[in-house]
Amino acid sequence: MFNISKIFNLFDEDNNFQDQNTESFIDYKTHPFYWISGFNKVIQHNYFFKKYMEKTFPLIENISKDNIDEVGDSMTHNRAWNYIINLDIKNEFHLECLKLKSDKKFIDNLDQSILFFENIEEYEKCYHLQQIKEKVNLSLEENSL
């Protein structure tokens, strides 16, 4: 049965969080699974995003399908970059999370993003993505043995 006084004591003016278990909560946005999943989701939805943009912006003068695709790719890969930049391949916990999320689709997404950043000559980003790709490939090889 619920103890109503405990519930209301959680919102005490002097101490908003008296429950000792609140220290175990983490911000999911600071977790490597969130970053990896966010990167993959953004890249995988690029096609649908560009199709949406084509339907949304057809009436704007002087804008071609190629321009829409270019803008869509730029928005997609830069947004995906904002997730994956947080992944540190020197951090053991991040590497363990990377191993658990390693699959062929992740490799494909990394390849797409590497190609995009190569084309606009942002080689630092390519290097970071390539390092991640090597770790993912290594993980996949270990799992196949």
Centre a 10 Å sphere on the Cβ of residue 131 and count the other Cβ atoms it contains.
Answer: 13
Domains of the chain, residue spans: 28-144
Say if residue 2's pLDDT is above 70. Answer: no
pTM of the entire predicted model: 0.77
C-alpha to C-alpha distance for 124 and 12, rounded to whole angstroms: 50
Structural contact between residues 98 and 135, judged by C-beta atoms closer than 8 angstroms: yes
Exposed, middle or buried by CB within 10 Å (0-12, 13-18, 19+), for 26?
A: exposed
Q: Taking Cα atoms as reference points, which of 75, 73, 83, 97 lies closest to residue 129? A: 83
The whole-number pLDDT of residue 52 equals 82
As a whole number, mean pLDDT of residues 48-68 equals 76
Structural contact between residues 89 and 131, judged by C-beta atoms closer than 8 angstroms: yes
* Distance separating the N- and C-terminal Cα atoms of the chain: 52
Structural contact between residues 101 and 37, judged by C-beta atoms closer than 8 angstroms: yes
Counting residues of the chain whose pLDDT is more than 90, the rounded percentage is: 58
Residue 88 pLDDT grade (very low, low, confident, very high; cuts 50, 70, 90): very high
As a whole number, mean pLDDT of residues 132-141 equals 95
The whole-number pLDDT of residue 4 equals 63
